[in-house]
Structure 1
Amino acid sequence: MSDLAAAPAAARPNLNGLWVAPPLIVLALSFLYPLALIARSAVLGETGAPDWSGVLATLDSRPFLNALLNTGEIAVASTAGCLALGLALALILAFVPFPGAPLAARLIDTFIALPTFLITLAFTFLYGSAGILNGALTQGFGLAEPPVHFLYSAWGVILAEVTVYSPFVLRPLLAAFSLIDQSQIEVAGLLGARPWRIVRSVILPAALPAAIAGGSLCLLLTVNEFGIVLFIGAKGVITLPLLIYDKAIQESDYQAACVIAIVNVALSLGLFGLYRVAARRLGG
């Protein structure tokens, strides 16, 4: 009897692995299929036949090369600014006790939830041609023209991105600082080490994985930033996302837009891999 009861159970198919099917289907429909359509449109010309000359012409064009250079320069500069500002804020919030430090950290975190164009709009009111700063300088010194114009340049884009994305560096740094043994800092202070040497020898080595993780995430986000660049409208500052928009919407050159989009996706995936490696190192 026991053998007869066990036979149907043994014959049942193993369905434990089927739970992966729904997420794979969602991934294929939401990401892989649209990406395949973009890749197909990048390779095929208007006739529907492979058009590699169009691909090479796009990759060798001056607008694409300038956009690639602008994207890299702005992303690297913004990431460096995020690291510098995030590190300074994290050191102050973690090791310089003052009333309201937790509230200040929460207020800084709110920048993560805000749309990027709101920060850019606020900067327009502050630093724009008719903004508060230019208005005060023009009236105070009797100037005929507004003296501050950096907002409508690559520096304005960098400043906005640093303001928006610095919390992505601040958060992991604060988490890393909370794991530092305070006795090490106290011993270093008792031995006569100056504050900067304590930061350099004790704090920064422990925070390096967090800084790498936060910095690589900022690099990924700034490479793909579109709203800030579009809203500021800096003359001559065209990045890859903005060039894709121009090619697709303004010029209706969908093959060139898809070619540039594939480059942008490849760059983003590479940076995401860097972020995952850094995050894994931080967690391990």
Structure 2
Amino acid sequence: MKIVIVTGMSGAGKSTALNVFEDEGYYCVDNMPIELIPKFIELARGQKKEYCNVALGVDIRSGDALNELDDMLKELSQRHYNYKILYLDSSDEVLVKRYKETRRTHPLAKDDRVDHAIEEERKQMSFLKEHADYILDTSHMLTRELKQELEKIFVENGHYNNLFVTVLSFGFKYGIPADADLVFDVRFLPNPYYIEELKKLTGNDKPIQDYVMGFDAAHIFLDKIMDLFDFLLPEYVQEGKNSLVIAIGCTGGKHRSVTLANAIADRLKKTEYGCKVEHRDIDKDAKRKL
């Protein structure tokens, strides 16, 4: 019997995660009273196969009973139950934005501001994050990407290192991305913008990819940057980082940076890390000319 405790910050995607588990055949219960969890698992273990896997949503809505969770987890361990803790997190800025968009009230907000409630929730939930087997930062994830990561961990039994990488292409003339952790400049490569038949294409088009990757410098850069990531990413995991934004920039964010960002993401997707690629400025020139 597999038991997953789905927890984390309000607005980080717990409801979405529970829906994913339900689609995969887990029996899901959200916001169950903490004191009932051991009894529920005991009953589920003796029932039919539809209860062979369960996912339980636990979060700040438990109120003061959250203080009992640590003892409850110890009890589950003593009973040798096979449970895992999935902790969903997100940046404060993204959580505030999500609450504004959905117009929902934060469980701790009441008459206070949402950002103050998030700060208090983060303090109260910190012990659970320390206990977590898997930490997913959903700040830069779409719903389908969260689903893919959960399937990778819990369905495909893939190895997961609690790090989700976003490879982001951008144009320096539009500014360096504010949320970038690592920034790399590929303006040293020849620019296809000055070739008339390539100018209107992007790094998602094969002629641009063939042009940019036709230079030895592009392959050397790609190999060396992947060597750097082979060293850095495990160090970030060890330090506790669970999301990383790697920004690849060229002049306009349309040709060289897009090509290299795609190439880096393709290689990272073959590793144990979650990864996606975004192209922030790929359509900027076209929009400005309208």
Q: What TM bracket, shorter-length normalisation? A: under 0.3
TM-score between both structures, scaled by the size of structure 2:
0.24
More strand by share: 2
TM-score between both structures, scaled by the size of structure 1:
0.24
More helix by share: 1
Q: Which of these two proteins has the greater Rg computed from alpha carbons?
A: 1
